[in-house]
Amino acid sequence: MGQILIRNIDDEVHARLKAQAAARGRSLEAHVRDLLSDSAKPSKTEVLARAAEIRKSFRGPPMTAEQHQARIEESKRALDERAGRLSDLARGTKD
């Protein structure tokens, strides 16, 4: 993890942060770390923009429940076939 050393913090700011931390039963370091983490989170605008990018990456209409089920069954069949081939290889019955 990275580290930050902040020098020359105003005494009043330091005292308020320390009081806030104490009121929450936390260390000053943990309190300031949480404040920094919260301030570094993406904004609502950034999150919505990213969501729009992701939505654009999906082409075509969403799949129906039947299409999902068919895809699941297709995947199961493919896995069963592969498992069978691997089993045959392990027994030495196929090349």
pLDDT for position 95:
56
pTM of the predicted model over 0.95: no
CA distances to 29, 40, 45, 48 from 57, in Å: 41, 26, 19, 14
Report the distance separating Cα 18 and Cα 30, nearest Å.
11
CA-wise closest residue to 19 among 37, 2, 32: 32
pLDDT tens digits along 26-48: 999 999 999 999 999 999 999 99
pLDDT tens digits along 60-85: 788 899 999 999 999 999 999 999 98
Percentage of the residues of the chain whose pLDDT score is greater than 70: 98
Confidence grade of residue 7 (pLDDT, cut at 50, 70, 90): very high
Task: Give residue limits of the domains in the chain.
Answer: 9-59, 61-95
